[in-house]
């Protein structure tokens, strides 16, 4: 098999030549220590060494040659470093997308009337709450799986367990038992990677006095037919924490006059080259720098509407 090194081959030959000279220079005996027989003085010794070098085609490498090789290596590193960093960032973004797809796949099973497993406090009725599914993903509240006698645990743990995590978010997460996600089971805020669509959790309604407010609403299996509805997305937990908000749910304001107004619950994590990954009900994942303004993304949908 023939391998082509392209334009780099001449420089590789230069580097190899320099390396060979360095090896020879350190492997040859010191003329001050060894004078071969028949040599009368050190002048004759120098002349013989010089003549031998010429006959063998070898000569000492120069400082200029060494600087050229070092410069070439530095240039190659400068060219390759951004490419390598970009490739690693794309790999992390892909891993984040795969994590979101996994959550969406679990949601499809959780919502299916025949395939669903343990629904915790929601039981086996035909409706369920998005927060119950969220708790099953983290393993908190009635789904606590981190040790019967532990009241809390920091993740990732010794076994590498680290659910609901984007690889770009490296802040350790602490889970607490006997709490719902919306009541502080997951934190601190900067450690949270993904937030669920808040309007699937609490629908905004107008009460009998004409005041807007949000009420918890159950979902039915027919939610699986809403392929244009976002399920979860990357969240900026630092921004949410600065606002004093629990970042496990997120929603754009749209035309809200109530709890979602002024984008109080809108803090997308644009950490993948300025974009956020968004997983939809049907399991497909897209990326956007403005996820609240994408056409065809139904952020206004509320269960029962």
203-224 residue pLDDT tens: 999 888 889 999 999 999 999 9
- Assigned token pair, 70: 């070092």
- Using one digit for the tens of pLDDT, what is the confidence trace for 93-129? 999 999 999 999 999 999 998 888 899 989 877 899 9
Instruction: Compute how many other C-beta atoms are within 10 angstroms of the C-beta atom of residue 226.
Output: 17
**114-138 per-residue burial string, b: 16 or more CB within 10 A, e: under 16:** eebeebeebeeeeebbbbbbbbbbb
Which single residue is written with the structure tokens 């010429």?
54
Indicate the domain borders of the chain.
7-61, 86-288
Specify the pTM. 0.76
The answer to whether 209 and 258 have CB atoms below 8 angstroms apart is: no
- Assigned token pair, 256: 């809200």
> Given pLDDT bands bounded at 50, 70 and 90, which one contains residue 2?
very low
Average pLDDT score over residue span 143-164 = 93
Q: What is the pLDDT of residue 148?
A: 86
Cis peptide upstream of residue 234 (ω within 30 degrees of 0): no
Question: Rounded to whole angstroms, how far apart are CA atoms 298 and 294?
Answer: 9
Q: What is the pLDDT of residue 263?
A: 96
Rg (CA), the chain: 32
Using the predicted structure, report yes or no on whether residue 188 has a pLDDT greater than 90.
yes
> Given pLDDT bands bounded at 50, 70 and 90, which one contains residue 261?
very high
Task: List, in sequence order, the alpha helices (H) in the chain.
Answer: 9-27, 42-56, 63-111, 130-138, 237-242
Which single residue is written with the structure tokens 């392209």?
6
- Using one digit for the tens of pLDDT, what is the confidence trace for 25-73? 555 555 555 555 555 555 554 555 555 555 555 566 788 888 888 989 9
């Amino acid at each position: 098999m023939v391998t082509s090194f392209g334009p780099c081959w001449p420089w590789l030959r230069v580097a190899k030549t320099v390396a060979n000279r360095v090896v020879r220079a350190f492997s040859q005996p010191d003329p001050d220590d060894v004078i071969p027989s028949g040599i009368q003085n050190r002048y004759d010794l120098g002349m013989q060494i010089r003549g031998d070098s010429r006959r063998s085609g070898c000569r000492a490498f120069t400082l200029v040659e060494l600087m050229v090789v070092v410069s070439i290596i530095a240039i190659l590193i400068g060219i390759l470093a951004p490419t390598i960093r970009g490739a690693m960032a794309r790999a992390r973004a892909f891993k984040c997308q795969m994590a979101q797809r996994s959550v969406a796949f679990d949601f499809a099973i959780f919502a299916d009337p025949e395939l669903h497993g343990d629904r915790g406090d929601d039981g086996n009725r035909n409706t369920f709450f998005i927060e119950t599914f969220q708790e099953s993903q983290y393993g908190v509240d009635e789904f606590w799986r981190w040790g019967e006698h532990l009241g809390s645990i920091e993740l990732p743990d010794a076994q590498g367990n680290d659910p609901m995590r984007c690889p770009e978010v490296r802040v350790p997460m602490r889970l607490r038992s006997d709490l719902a996600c919306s009541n502080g089971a997951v934190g601190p805020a900067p450690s949270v990677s993904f937030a669920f669509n808040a309007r699937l959790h609490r629908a905004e309604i107008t009460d009998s006095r004409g005041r807007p407010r949000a009420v918890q609403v159950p979902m039915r299996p027919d939610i699986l037919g809403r392929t244009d509805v976002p399920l979860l997305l990357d969240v900026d937990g630092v921004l949410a924490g600065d606002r004093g908000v629990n970042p496990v749910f997120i929603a754009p304001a749209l035309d809200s006059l109530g709890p979602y107004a002024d984008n109080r619950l809108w803090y997308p994590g644009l950490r993948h080259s300025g974009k956020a990954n968004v997983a939809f009900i049907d399991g497909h994942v897209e990326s956007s720098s403005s996820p609240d303004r994408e056409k065809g993304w139904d952020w206004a949908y509320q269960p029962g509407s």
